[in-house]
Amino acid sequence: MSSKVSKSTADENDVAAPEPAAPTSRVTLQEVSLQSSDAYALCVDLDGTLVKSDTLADAFLTLIRHDPVKALRCLPSLKRGKAAFKAQVATHVSLNSATLPYNKPLLERLRLEHAAGRDIYLATATNEEHANRIARHLGIFAGVIASSADLNLRSETKRQALQRRFSCFDYVGNAQSDAPVLAQAQQAMLANPSPGLDRWLKRRNIHIVHVFKDRAPLWKTLVEAARVKQWPKNFLIFLPLLLAHAFFRFHDVFLTCLAFASWSFVASATYVLNDLLDMEADRSHRTKRKRPFAAGELSIQTALSMVCVLLALSAMIAIRLPSRFVFWLAAYFVTTIAYSLVLKKLALVDVIVLAGLYTVRMVAGAAVTDVTFSDWLGGFSIFFFLTLAIAKRYTELDNLRKQRQIPAGGRGYRVEDLEQLRSFGTASGYAAIVIFTLYINNPDILRLYSHFQRLWLLIPVLIYWINRVWLLAHRGELDEDPVVFALTDYRSALLGLVALLIVLSAV
């Protein structure tokens, strides 16, 4: 690995900055010119203000994702102060300035002010190397005032530095640490301000000229970050109980419902951790860049709080369940973290692990109720979910090929692997069908189904659905998550209903 971690795409300076969305109150160039005719220098904070995220946290998480050893070696520099730590991280990580989550209304305003001839300065506690890189990319700043290895430009230190540089200045900030600077500014402006800062300014009767808001409702963002829409995957926990025809054992159904809730909370915690580690890579992805952490909608502190709360809720439920279930729940959590850190970088290992994580849900469902986990179900699920996992990788790789990009995020695949992946995926799908066919011929099936011959009608349903998944993948029309596709595709829903009716008729 080189001394710096950066995206393996084209140089970021060759990529245009994202076009800003129209703000709630649009400012015209003429208005800016009138406001700026005798204006003071406009100083703008970076973290949480111009950029909705914390660039130090972003850089350190990127370093953890790419080189955990170097990340650990940066920690001793904290003994010399936060400024030294920022400088140490900056020597190893170069964030992609083109994909950072900028505050779009503020960025548009700054571009208009720049076009009107106003001097704009980036005044930030971010390390000077990162700050200069962002300033060069945007091309609207007359200068950069930032932290060095010896000086952390924050709060009172920033106020003093700006007073030495300018006789008078306007300032845009967002956090409590910006309060001394805002109090000194001729015109104070805010961007996504923290509640504490709002209260502080009101108590001191400091007039706010403008607030640049670019943030979704908190409750909606938290639900999205927890990926509640992925919880239907955890209904696999109920499958062993249903296949054993034990759905009238109400105590077991209740235990399985508790297991579903506990598992869902742990799954959400792992999704949050995974999104934190993948944040930099997600920002270069056409859809994943909208995830809350990649988009800067939630802070790292909020993410860690979410993980603690979700794990606590899961543990409160899990202590009421059998220890066998708790074992599989812990195994799922550890494996998922290992997947996020290491295993997802290993070609083929990643899809096998994904298939196993789906299967372990069913194993846990059997463990919570003491239902025997069928070998047939285990074999079928491994190959069935393996074909879906490979379809996911195939679709991601195909999208990169169409965009003429190389695989990002440290994945172990190449674009030329597409055809081989398709072969692996279709073979796995047909292996699942063969196992199901053998299951129908198994004498043990007579205990569960009075008309087991009718289960043969499920074979064409499976063949059609698996072939359709791969046909859509080949056409580039498949969602990058086939499980989400299955849950949202109306034809899949109809086929699921047909399959259910076939099973009920065979009982």
Per cent of the chain over pLDDT 90 is 64
Once rounded to an integer, what is the mean pLDDT over residues 450-479?
A: 91
Neighbours of 346 (CB within 10 A): 15
CATH of the domain at 39: 3.40.50.1000
Dmax over CA atoms of the chain, in Å, equals: 90
* CA pair distance 93, 62, nearest whole angstrom: 7
Of 185, 212, 239, which residue sits at a domain end? 212
- pLDDT reading at 20 higher than 70: no
Predicted pLDDT of residue 23: 39
Once rounded to an integer, what is the mean pLDDT over residues 247-265?
A: 93
Q: What is the dihedral of CA 52, 53, 54, 59, to 10 degrees?
A: -140
- Does residue 225 form part of some domain? no
Dihedral of alpha carbons 335, 336, 337, 338, sign:
positive
Question: Is there a contact between 123 and 51 (Cβ–Cβ < 8 Å)?
Answer: no
Predicted pLDDT of residue 488: 83
- pLDDT reading at 153 higher than 70: yes
Please name the residue that has the structure tokens 């692990």: 353
Q: How far is CA 60 from the centre of its chain?
A: 16
Confidence category of residue 34, pLDDT binned at 50, 70, 90: very low
Of 212, 243, 258, which residue sits at a domain end? 212
- pLDDT reading at 319 higher than 70: yes
Residues 6+ apart with CB under 8 A from 471: none
CB burial of residue 482 (10 Å; 0-12, 13-18, 19+): buried
* CA pair distance 464, 498, nearest whole angstrom: 12
Once rounded to an integer, what is the mean pLDDT over residues 14-38?
A: 38
The predicted model scores a pTM of 0.83
Predicted pLDDT of residue 57: 92
User: Which pairs from 419-423 meet CB under 8 Å and 24+ separation?
Assistant: 421/390, 421/393, 421/394, 421/397, 422/394, 422/470, 422/473, 422/474
Once rounded to an integer, what is the mean pLDDT over residues 362-389?
A: 91
Element (H, E) at 500: helix 490-506
- Does residue 356 form part of some domain? no
Amino acid identity, position 140: I
Between 425 and 286, the more confident residue is: 425
- Does residue 462 form part of some domain? yes
- Does residue 226 form part of some domain? no
* Side-chain-side CA neighbours of residue 336 (13 Å): 21
Question: Is there a contact between 178 and 203 (Cβ–Cβ < 8 Å)?
Answer: no
Element (H, E) at 144: strand 143-147
Once rounded to an integer, what is the mean pLDDT over residues 443-468?
A: 89
Of 155, 177, 212, which residue sits at a domain end? 212
- pLDDT reading at 497 higher than 60: yes
Confidence category of residue 411, pLDDT binned at 50, 70, 90: low
Terminal-to-terminal C-alpha distance of the chain: 58
CB contact burial 114-153 (16+ within 10 A = b; e otherwise): bebebbbbbbbbbbbbbbbbbbebbebbeebbbbebeebb
Residue 197 structural domain: 12-212
- Does residue 245 form part of some domain? no
Predicted pLDDT of residue 204: 87
Question: Is there a contact between 457 and 495 (Cβ–Cβ < 8 Å)?
Answer: no
- pLDDT reading at 113 higher than 80: yes
Once rounded to an integer, what is the mean pLDDT over residues 411-427?
A: 88
Predicted pLDDT of residue 261: 97
Confidence category of residue 216, pLDDT binned at 50, 70, 90: confident
Amino acid identity, position 231: W
- Does residue 466 form part of some domain? yes
Lowest mean pLDDT among 226-240, 290-304, 409-423: 409-423
Confidence category of residue 72, pLDDT binned at 50, 70, 90: very high
Confidence category of residue 25, pLDDT binned at 50, 70, 90: very low
Per cent of the chain over pLDDT 70 is 91
Residues 6+ apart with CB under 8 A from 9: 15, 96, 284, 405, 406, 408
Predicted pLDDT of residue 400: 79
Predicted pLDDT of residue 407: 59
Residue closest to 278 by CA, chosen among 340, 349, 347: 340
Residue closest to 49 by CA, chosen among 217, 283, 212: 212
Confidence category of residue 29, pLDDT binned at 50, 70, 90: very low
Please name the residue that has the structure tokens 């698996």: 466
SS3 2: coil
- Number of domains the chain contains: 2
Strands 169-173 and 41-44: parallel
- pLDDT reading at 79 higher than 70: yes
Question: Is there a contact between 322 and 367 (Cβ–Cβ < 8 Å)?
Answer: yes
Predicted pLDDT of residue 413: 85
- pLDDT reading at 1 higher than 80: no
Predicted pLDDT of residue 255: 94
- pLDDT reading at 37 higher than 60: no
Residue closest to 91 by CA, chosen among 106, 77, 103, 111: 77
- Does residue 320 form part of some domain? no
- The overall average pLDDT reported for the chain is 87
* CA pair distance 362, 374, nearest whole angstrom: 10
Amino acid identity, position 351: V
155-208 pLDDT, tens digit per residue, is: 999 999 999 999 899 999 999 999 999 999 999 999 999 888 888 888 888 889
Predicted pLDDT of residue 406: 63
Predicted pLDDT of residue 494: 93
| SS3 per-residue string spanning 401-413 | HHCCCCCCCCCCC
